[in-house]
Amino acid sequence: MHKRWLAVPALMVIGSLAMAANCPPLLEGQLPKLRAKESIDLCQRFAGKPLLIVNTASFCGFAPQFKGLEALSQRYKEQGLEVIGVPSDDFKQEAKTGEETAKVCYVNYGVTFTMTEPQKVKGPDAVHLFKVLAQETSAPKWNFYKYVVDRQGKVIANFSSLTKPDSPELIKAVEEAIASKP
């Protein structure tokens, strides 16, 4: 009986290692969810899914893009698309508190897609997610920089702040990410 109890933790460790082996470098780690007590395990939550990752800022002139991002999220969520918004004050246009950021996103723009607490998205202090995005393409040059990631965790396209969420080029990249094989 004693040996059986030892087998259960061993299987859990092996299962965790197998899951980690399937996790693309982009999705390693966790980020705190906006105005929640929990953190998001990026690999557990998003591995194998097409992604649109956007660095956001509450008081940026591009903030109305939240509406277009939400529309894109709703349009493609049944096909597996996950939109991840990462607020940042790197360009000096984010709210001072998570509460204020949440109000802008959730109340003002009706965002339902995943939002994190504000993070660093450029430079040596950038969170791991954005360090990998920068290595694969480039660091965000301003707020609302967009990265489309396929189901294997590879960036297939990135777009400047000027590219609107309903632009044909962005939609084409999102559809390509959705069509990719896990």
Q: Active-site residues: which are they?
A: 60
Interhelix angle 65-76/168-179, nearest 10 degrees:
30
| β pairing state of 30-32 and 39-41 | antiparallel
Element (H, E) at 39: strand 39-41
| β pairing state of 146-149 and 51-56 | antiparallel
Strand order in the sheet with 82-87: 114-115, 82-87, 51-56, 146-149, 155-159
78 alpha-carbon distance from chain centroid: 17
Q: DSSP label at 83?
A: E
